[in-house]
Structure 1
């Protein structure tokens, strides 16, 4: 292992040396263009407070930003061919916008005359006219900060409204009907799954989010995890010089009340940027779950049913704290850190009444389980990062080190009363107490290096990443039905899991004539071991995997572009899915993990066609081996049910999607996203052979209406048709959300009112049919909520931004 690793690192170093030599040898070969000009004014000869923006002419998307010097000179380098706009922003001059500029050679725009402001402005912002949803061939971007309907929501709820994303009854995420999504925050994987992931997303408020990128077919630069793609949540961070901030107060009412204050502060100086935020969330909610379970003999003869009426209530208090700083060590080096803490206390209660019926459909008894749980979650993380431009040729180096700790403690108390058909007690109550404790520690370090190969009009990226994970979960259940508490060894467990993943990658991009080629290869080594302490059972895994990726694009002209992409990806089981401890709902229903789960491996292929840089059509196919499904089915004890993750041999997924924005004048804009997919499940799960398939579709419509210069409205609708998730057959659902926004106080503040799930139709109606067992259920949650929000921007800034690699860094990379 060490020998192989040293050889790989030696090859990595050789590639850097060769690329450096090639750049020096051919540095004088120019394959991109320079766009420059000089600002002039009759009222001033100092222009060092003017920001100059380069925008795409087609949709005014931001490409680059530069700062004019005192003489008014500015220069954009490494600009790709195409049509662009030049815009300026300043407190002392009126905004300027150029006519569309065709860039196919180096351009000097000469003198640009700026007009002085006739009155002092209290705030100046550049409006790049970002739509709520932006589409490109490789990703979809949801601009959450522009959304009226997102007010009062958490990250999980926002994702449920995003095009092509849906959240199932167990709060698992899927993209375009496909599960196995990797979730990142600011480009860093969360390494959480299942309940742990949903709890984290619910603790993150929409007011803290700038945008969300939905990446369906990532390159080798990204972690190979995530069969369905990557969801990257980008948090807000200001880049304005001076001290400024934002205060948001949100109150909501559904069946229960909600309250979320949030404040963010930013202080930026020429050589340092300090940022912080705090959000508190007080949320109460419910889950109303009705279940009918029918049981059959091996000969398929009906022998009884359990009919459940479950009602769950929860109250959660969450504190979310974030702080950090970036220091400009030199004009080309930045050292930064960020820390985040999320602390949640929950009080949850459950009331589960089950009526039992015999083979003649006559009621023969009932049992009532009342529960109360008090989960406490303490999550914290810290990141150290270093960014450097190594030379004027464009070589860059980025290094990140991360540590995250997720701690959980929970006390569970359940009391079950058993009754006859007339409601009379038939035995002493059954009392069960659980003491659950868990710790998850994640350490990771990575380095990314990129260099342009200008002689070949190409770019080379390479990198390395190592991560170390340890989970330690101990669960003790006690039977307190008697005079003393007795440890229930059948329900108790202590599970320790360790995992180490080492990865290296190389990725290349080349553009020539009308073609664009990207090819990459990622090598990952995974070493893991698990220990069930009580049973003294262990398992180990050690394997290598190669993950190639490729993209080929062809641009016919400014209006037509096609692309082909292919990649191999992996979806490892979440730590909770591997953990064999049991989670109880009532004496006959529990969930457990599976330490012998295998990772999913997917091969992903996609074709895309872009029309007029706005309309996007995609065709795709994915084959997944060892598909992970969370299956609810009969257990060994009669009429008992267990939910456990299992591997299914094959899952075939075909999809077609169409995204098209349109406008009516300046007052109405809309984005429509339609996805049709065909999923086919094949394989054996227990005693069941699955061969299920169906054509399903999703429609997402987001509509913005400008009522006046300071008032706007938003209406969004989402429809998910019938579909399968393994043996779970779910019915279609339609959801409508509405909102209105009013800007006040000279646009320094805004009021937003929204109404989510107007018709209270966001509910899950589904059934499962397996050997010996059928289930029908209807689930309703607190999705119908009205929110009122007040947001106020405060502080002073002159609009300067000396950090050239700030919020527009991704756009700069795309322009190279």
Structure 2
């Protein structure tokens, strides 16, 4: 007798070659008459799927997944008397890229080597041990984070971070907060460009990181919920949901986080400039507490096969409370104590940022011919207040200060790209972009008058700062392929304007730069899975507003900071020659690289006779780095998977004017290991080491970090529970050694609380039947 609820279909989605299961592929059952969707499901992490309640009839099975060619299985016939139909293994092929120089690995967590970038697909293992975008970035080859949470590429800062091709500052002004607020499970892949083509931002002397978010195209409703509880009140909760019916799709997400980080700081500096040498010792501890929330909503509507529009809204908010207590002691060479005081600071702040976006996509009759228009408008504000108390046995060293800050900012981003396939093997792309922004910043300092008991405004250390910039860019790229060769050449022209108004001292000036950024990439196939490539790009690092602002920050009175209005852009030549070979179970991609700049922007510290240091950005001279690096991945049976990267390189910083000649060989690398255990357990380990490297006036010592995690799938793999530990050995210690003719300094900054958390994640979703155009 036929079951009233219909038949059940089952099968397994596998990849060719190797028959490895394709995780979480979308399986849709289409009517053979008009290709409308009847029902469907999502495969589990092993590629196994079932579809229940299938009525009798003839169907077409469609299987889709990111990184694979869409697979159609025709003539799926369900007889009236059928209860169960086993479709067996359904083989999918890796997706062929436009220039034939991209080889996709067998699992989404592997690396894809494109002609001008490396693509890291975020797989389930990386997501299981990552709560936010910061956690993900540390697992990406060649990427690390500095002590403030800013991304570095090959151990160097000055990295441009994009989100879906748009500047990350549209989401807020503080990049580390943005990265910590962005939920990891919204990320589809991360593109790392060490020698970007002219299509991408010309800024970023070290490279460009483009973070691509997920965009569900399946019908029905699906999503995830995630809760993480950590030690010392470090908690996180997030959720996202996607819905698609017919031509309309809606996605929304929300993330909330509570952070608590403790740290210690030590600094020892010998002062040689005065007639009697002296020694400054600073030591103390601090705590940074913060709360942030991030939400986004996106609506996409496909008018037809050729036209689609998407509107989006993002909002982020953050609160922070920071405190520190630093002991300052200056002794003379005779051993006598010259001065001693404790400086206690407490500060709090609030901020918010709203972003509105409108994107339009137009496809033409010719394959791959497309017009894209994107726009974003962002508005944000932040305010804060700090209170400083200086305690000493000497009356002249007693201080009570108040600092009040207010910041308002706006930005508008417009972009249009047109892709024209001239022939089946050649493509021309052209684009125009504009970005305008303004920033009004008030920073007021007050000192306590001990005679009157009133706080008095101090104009010498206060600042009212107005800033505007406008960037207009045009680019074009040309791509050509043959069976063995690939070529991509490009040129970007940028007109950059800055208007700087130091209102508090009536100092107003403008800066204008016109820059050319050429790029060239050549590839040569050596087989089905191997290729050689040669890349060149010229990069420019334009001075940021804070680097130019001549305001002097005296929050640490023995180490003050100021901007430099005389900064000029830094131009960097980047070249790379590499080999890559990736197959289903792993591969590697070694390369030789070189970065050269003859006017590098870097921090310079000088000291006066009182032992007070002043730190400013300056164009110091020549900076050169070169070496060899490789990434490596390997799947060993069904138990162990390894992703790793490493490099050996030399850094040189030389400036005759600043009397700097610093040259150092170094090495660094990271390793991610994922182990499959019995009873649906999986364990992971991550280690990273950044070796010593040359910086202006000294050396940064090596940094070692180790993390681990273990996870278990529950509820028929719909849920995951994981336990994670970050910085297991509390070894993330940032140490600098500076040596000049006027001073010698050693410093340490280290987070003192390791992060331990337990995370529960639940995935839900159903593919619904529907009618209308198939999307």
TM-score, structure 2 length as denominator? 0.86
Q: Does 1:464 align with 2:428?
A: no
Deviates most, 193-202 or 636-645: 193-202
Q: Does 1:174 align with 2:144?
A: no
338, 346, 370: which one pairs with 1:396?
A: 370
Give the Cα–Cα distance (whole angstroms) in 2 for the partners of residues 410 and 727 of structure 1. Answer: 33
Match of 1:648 in 2: 620
Secondary structure in 2 matching 1:250: strand
**Mapped contact 1:149–1:737 kept (Cα < 8 A):** no
How many residue pairs align between the two structures?
727
Residues 151 and 781 from structure 1, CA distance in 2 versus in 1: closer, same or farther, beyond 3 angstroms? same
Structure 1 residue 509, shift from structure 2 partner: 0.9
Structure 1 residue 606, shift from structure 2 partner: 0.9
Give the Cα–Cα distance (whole angstroms) in 2 for the partners of residues 109 and 193 of structure 1. Answer: 40
Matches within 5 A, 1:163-562: 163-191=141-169, 196-253=174-231, 256-297=232-273, 303-419=277-393, 425-427=394-396, 429-454=398-423, 457-482=425-450, 483-562=453-532
Superposed CA deviations along residues 22-57 of structure 1, whole A, max 9, x for unmatched, are xxxxxxxxxxxxxxxxxxxxx99999x999999788
Q: Does 1:712 align with 2:686?
A: no
Match of 2:599 in 1: 626
Pairwise CA RMSD of aligned residues?
3.7
Structure 1 residue 73, shift from structure 2 partner: 10
Residues 142 and 595 from structure 1, CA distance in 2 versus in 1: closer, same or farther, beyond 3 angstroms? same
Match of 2:672 in 1: 702
**Mapped contact 2:62–2:71 kept (Cα < 8 A):** no
Residues 581 and 548 from structure 1, CA distance in 2 versus in 1: closer, same or farther, beyond 3 angstroms? same
Superposed CA deviations along residues 279-300 of structure 1, whole A, max 9, x for unmatched, are 11111111211111211127xx
Structure 1 residue 108, shift from structure 2 partner: 12
Superposed CA deviations along residues 698-721 of structure 1, whole A, max 9, x for unmatched, are 111111111136221111111111
Match of 1:572 in 2: 542
TM-score, structure 1 length as denominator? 0.82
Match of 2:732 in 1: 762
Secondary structure in 2 matching 1:485: strand
Match of 1:130 in 2: 107
Structure 1 residue 477, shift from structure 2 partner: 0.7
Deviates most, 487-496 or 237-246: 237-246
Match of 2:51 in 1: 91
Gaps of 5+ in 1: 1-42, 75-86, 420-424, 806-816
Structure 1 residue 632, shift from structure 2 partner: 3.5
Match of 2:31 in 1: 70
Match of 1:15 in 2: none
735, 740, 743: which one pairs with 2:713?
A: 743
Residues 609 and 428 from structure 1, CA distance in 2 versus in 1: closer, same or farther, beyond 3 angstroms? closer
Give the Cα–Cα distance (whole angstroms) in 1 for the partners of residues 279 and 170 of structure 2. Answer: 36
Match of 1:31 in 2: none
Structure 1 residue 453, shift from structure 2 partner: 1.8
**Mapped contact 1:435–1:476 kept (Cα < 8 A):** yes
Give the Cα–Cα distance (whole angstroms) in 2 for the partners of residues 801 and 220 of structure 1. Answer: 42
Give the Cα–Cα distance (whole angstroms) in 1 for the partners of residues 597 and 371 of structure 2. Answer: 35
**Mapped contact 1:706–1:713 kept (Cα < 8 A):** yes
Gaps of 5+ in 2: 36-46, 95-104
Structure 1 residue 187, shift from structure 2 partner: 1.6
Residues 117 and 491 from structure 1, CA distance in 2 versus in 1: closer, same or farther, beyond 3 angstroms? farther
**Mapped contact 1:203–1:320 kept (Cα < 8 A):** yes
**Mapped contact 1:152–1:789 kept (Cα < 8 A):** no
**Mapped contact 2:519–2:536 kept (Cα < 8 A):** yes
Superposed CA deviations along residues 351-371 of structure 1, whole A, max 9, x for unmatched, are 111122112234343111111
Secondary structure in 2 matching 1:199: helix
Secondary structure in 2 matching 1:179: coil
**Mapped contact 1:416–1:429 kept (Cα < 8 A):** yes
Residues 107 and 797 from structure 1, CA distance in 2 versus in 1: closer, same or farther, beyond 3 angstroms? closer
**Mapped contact 1:567–1:604 kept (Cα < 8 A):** yes
Secondary structure in 1 matching 2:504: coil
